[in-house]
A = this chain, B = another copy of it.
Amino acid sequence: MSGPDRLHAFDAAIALAPQGEGVWQGETSAAYGNMIGPFGGVTAAQALNAVLRHPHRLGVPIALTVNFAAAIADGAFLVLVRPARTNRSTQHWIVEMRQGERTVLTATAVTALRRDTWGATEVAMPQVPPAHEVPPPTRHGRVEWINRYDMRFIHGALPPAWDGAEGHGSRTLLWVRDNPPRPLDFASLTATADVFFPRIWRRRATMTPIGTVSITIYFHADEAQLQATADGYLLGQAEAQAFRNGFFDQTAQLWNQAGELLATSHQVVYYKE
């Protein structure tokens, strides 16, 4: 159904209508629906989009932290964004998302003008087969947003059975891109950084209820690298470091097919038991 004239589902999902300086209205997207409320990656992208679309924005995203303060109800929300500090080459943003009078999300972002400097990548892309040699999952996603991504698991897919078996590691490695393909930008890179299913389901095959509490994304890519990446696959890797008394963490990396590290990401996630 998707033709060249039709807006990509992701662009429709993160669209914002201006309501005055620093105030935007957005809406949850059924195309990115999760078990309860929307896929957090798209919500994070909406928060970033309010910064990206601000007329006074300086430079490109360097860091974004999104705190999911409450379940987001299907429907409209407001995004309030303000530049708390603007320097010569960096800018600091505070973002809040509200439904009615209540805050459902808080976020901070840093944007900056980048300059050419010495550089190095320390975490090399794992050696993996190319994306076209890795089959997509045969099962249809049981939540809608899963179907908006083309995911090809190389290592650490969902457990074959929910039998409570406890493994030793939580690592997942997959090729992923928007489905249908869409040229990568900062908003979609943000959403893709949250594409990994909960590490606790991988570590211990028990479908305990979970919810991301806070996610941070560091953008190593500039606009030229995103453009060069185009609609190619990203290699995503995610792993937990600790599960303790109701919260676990996740660290993640995203490389493009040329082996460039585009973003690193971290999150802390509530789990029930």
Contact = CB atoms under 8 A, between A and B. Distances in A.
A55 interface: no
Interface string A64-99: 010101100000000000001101001010101000
A84 B106 contact: yes
Interface string A197-214: 000000110000000011
B253 A241 contact: yes
Nearest to A120: B243
A246 B204 contact: no
A163 interface: no
A120 B203 contact: yes
Contact of A247 (B62, B69, B216): B62
A90 B270 contact: yes
A96 B84 contact: yes
A146 interface: no
A138 interface: no
A240 B169 CA distance: 22
B84 A213 contact: no
Interface stretch (A12-20, A21-29, A108-116, A182-190): A108-116
A218 interface: yes
Interface in A233-273: 239-247, 249, 251, 253, 261, 264, 266, 268, 270-273
B107 A108 contact: yes
A147 interface: no
Nearest to A266: B266
A102 interface: yes
B220 A249 contact: yes
A133 interface: no
A116 B115 CA distance: 48
Nearest to A240: B122
A169 B222 CA distance: 23
Contact of A117 (B96, B107, B108, B245): B245
A108 B273 contact: no
A271 to B, nearest CB: 7
Given A85-B69, A203-B122, A116 B245 contact: yes
Nearest 5 interchain pairs by C-beta: A69-B85, A69-B92, A65-B65, A63-B214, A114-B245
